[in-house]
Amino acid sequence: MKGIEPEMLATWDHRFLWHPFTQMAEWLSEPPLIIERGEGVYLYDAHGNRYLDGVASLWCNVHGHRHPVLDAALHEQANRVAHSTMLGLSNVPAIVLAKELVQRTPASLTRVFYSDSGATAVEIALKIAAQYWQLVGEPQRTEFVSLTEAYHGDTIGAMSVGYSEMFHRFHKPLLFPCHKLDPPHVFRWYRGLSAEAALDAALSEARSFFRQHGAHLAAMIVEPLMQGAAGMWKHDVAYLRGLRDLTREHGVLLICDEVATGFGRTGQLFAVEHAGLEPDMMCLGKGISGGYLPLAATLVREEIFAAFLGPYDAFRAFFHGHTYTGNPLACAVGIASLEVFERERVLDNVRVRARQLEERLEKEFAPLAHVGDVRQWGLMAGIELVANRSSRAPYPAGERVGHKVILAARRRGVVLRPLGNVIVLMPPLCITEEQLDELCQVTWESIREVTENKTSTRS
Ligand SMILES: Cc1ncc(COP(=O)(O)O)c(C=O)c1O
């Protein structure tokens, strides 16, 4: 691909591509930022300009771009075989990674079913849950419950449990019904309540819901501790533990969707570890391959796996699979990524950097005139911009304040991607103290420029 002029690439992008989650009319009116290469936490565009990757290439990059250990694992596997199927065959990296994942995830999880995106990992969990209850003689358990504003991906089942009016209203007729519980999100949902009172209210709503519907529920699905795409809605470990207690009490499977929170993001390898929680199923994606290649996994308890066993002609098997399931290149990089976690003590860095981020968010961002709220777990943060701080009135969507902030950041050499008017900071976990300072400084200046019309730097 060498030698193609950036201007030609921009023309072809506008002529041939349709970008995800993008209003293309707007996209076509702006020059595209075309990434040509990466190195550590930085991305370089086709003109050679450098940008700090402030959202880890959509929350998935872990150890930086072009990490030598991950690159070597990829090359080494490419010299053996790039792909062979998991339907009727197995492959070396898929086996080894499965063992490593089972060793590192909570003890309740013993089996790994691979796929290739977060949405498919969720879809698989939902289908396993639905089939499981029929196999074990409780066919009335067909319903699902999830949290308000949950996001679990864009396939039909994932949209059903993660319904968002804004994103999915055109597809509503295709979706299956799903119950919703309000999480203890104080800023928008439980306005006026303290965090403790909101937690009590949310748990009491959950208790009465489970009393009424528990017998018909197949599973509850939850993004543990941080609902990412909702706008970084954080909840306390006590809420997660409360949901675990209720699902257990009512015999309902608990699916933890760690697609965004997994692989070190919150300061533990998996967010459920903060709550000492053992889910019945776990969905993994994004960081599973260090952010290199499309790979996902659904982990389940042994009892769930065992329910699918039987003679061939009983047809109890899980009839689900994708062509690239367990892709050897992706799994080889996934194994290397886990090695790097230990070798480079990545979680130690996340914890130190998370404290640095927390300090800056509290001292510098929270007091800004148009910052309504800041929310953080580890290296996962949302800064909610509001038109009016005291009434918490949001900016009108058409003003595109979040988008303007990220364009201002881009001019200063940082790539961000907002969730509406929530500015997301989610850098690669290998970020250094100086690089995190750069990310915070640029974001702070960009927010002030757009919301206060101020271009001065921090005093
Ligand atoms: C919690 C969660 N689940 C599922 C998904 C979907 O993952 P993918 O985009 O790989 O399908 C996402 C993506 O952001 C997510 O944050």
Ligand 1 touching residue 119 (CB < 6 A): yes
Highest CATH level, class, for 33-63+345-452: alpha beta
Ligand 1 touching residue 147 (CB < 6 A): no
Atom of ligand 1 nearest to the CA of 227: 1
Burial class (CB in 10 A: 0-12, 13-18, 19+), 221: buried
DSSP-assigned beta bridge partners for residue 255: 221, 281
- 417 CA distance to ligand 1 centroid (A)? 15
**Cα→Cα distances 6→1, 308, 426, Å:** 11, 53, 28
| Best mutation site among 57, 159, 259 for ligand 1 pocket (most ligand atoms within 8 Å of CB) | 259
Please give the distance of CA 202 from its chain centroid, rounded to a whole number.
23
Ligand 1 touching residue 285 (CB < 6 A): yes
Ligand 1 touching residue 231 (CB < 6 A): no
- pLDDT of 190: 87
**Cα→Cα distances 63→48, 57, 410, 428, Å:** 22, 12, 22, 6
The fold of 71-343 is Aspartate Aminotransferase; domain 2 (3.40.640)
| Best mutation site among 114, 151, 167, 235 for ligand 1 pocket (most ligand atoms within 8 Å of CB) | 151
- Residue 63 near residue 290, CB atoms below 8 Å: yes
- Residue 234 near residue 377, CB atoms below 8 Å: yes
- 259 CA distance to ligand 1 centroid (A)? 6
- 263 CA distance to ligand 1 centroid (A)? 14
| Best mutation site among 19, 256, 286, 380 for ligand 1 pocket (most ligand atoms within 8 Å of CB) | 286
Tell the residue nearest (CA) to atom 4 of ligand 1.
Answer: 152
- Please indicate, yes or no, whether the overall pTM of this predicted structure exceeds 0.95: yes
- Residue 421 near residue 386, CB atoms below 8 Å: yes
- 106 CA distance to ligand 1 centroid (A)? 21
Ligand 1 touching residue 260 (CB < 6 A): yes
Per-residue pLDDT of the chain (459 residues; tens, 9 = 90+): 778 999 999 999 999 999 999 999 999 999 999 999 999 999 999 999 999 999 999 999 999 999 999 999 999 999 999 999 999 999 999 999 999 999 999 999 999 999 999 999 999 999 999 999 999 999 999 999 999 999 999 999 999 999 988 889 999 999 999 999 999 999 988 888 999 999 999 999 999 999 999 999 999 999 999 999 999 999 999 999 999 999 999 999 999 999 999 999 999 999 999 999 999 999 999 999 999 999 999 999 999 999 999 999 999 999 999 999 999 999 999 999 999 999 999 999 999 999 999 999 999 999 999 999 999 999 999 999 999 999 999 999 999 999 999 999 999 999 999 999 999 999 999 999 999 999 999 999 999 999 998 775 543
**Of the candidates 24, 65, 53, which has an alpha carbon nearest to the alpha carbon of residue 289?**
65
Q: How far apart are CA 53 and CA 265, in angstroms?
A: 15
Domain ranges of the chain: 33-63+345-452, 71-343
Ligand 1 touching residue 233 (CB < 6 A): no
Q: Which residues have C-beta within 8 Å of that of residue 11, sequence separation ≥ 6?
A: none
- 118 CA distance to ligand 1 centroid (A)? 4
Ligand 1 touching residue 122 (CB < 6 A): yes
Q: How far apart are CA 234 and CA 374, in angstroms?
A: 10
CA dihedral 347, 351, 354, 360 (to 10 degrees): -140
- pLDDT of 241: 98
**Strand 111-115 vs strand 217-222: parallel, antiparallel, or unpaired?**
unpaired
- pLDDT of 459: 39
Which H, E and C letters describe the chain, residue by residue? CCCCCHHHHHHHHHHHCCCCCCCHHHHCCCCCCCEEEEEECEEEECCCCEEEECCHHHHCCCCCECCHHHHHHHHHHHCCCCCCCCCCCCCHHHHHHHHHHHHHCCCCCCEEEEECCHHHHHHHHHHHHHHHHHHCCCCCCCEEEEECCCCCCCCHHHHHHCCCHHHHHHHHHHCCCCEEECCCCCCCCCCCCCHHHHHHHHHHHHHHHHHHHHHHEEEEEECCCEECCCCCEECCHHHHHHHHHHHHHCCCEEEEECCCCCCCCCCCCCHHHHHCCCCCEEEECHHHHCCCCCCEEEEECHHHHHHCCCCHHHCCCCCCCCCCCCCHHHHHHHHHHHHHHHHCCHHHHHHHHHHHHHHHHHHHHCCCCCEEEEEEECCEEEEEECCECCCCECCCHHHCHHHHHHHHHHHCCEECCCECCEEEECCCCCCCHHHHHHHHHHHHHHHHHHHHCCCCCCC
- Residue 296 near residue 117, CB atoms below 8 Å: yes
- 41 CA distance to ligand 1 centroid (A)? 21
Tell the residue nearest (CA) to atom 3 of ligand 1.
Answer: 152
- Residue 149 near residue 180, CB atoms below 8 Å: no
Backbone angles phi, psi at 197, to 5 degrees: -65, -35
Q: How far apart are CA 242 and CA 240, in angstroms?
A: 5
Ligand 1 touching residue 228 (CB < 6 A): yes
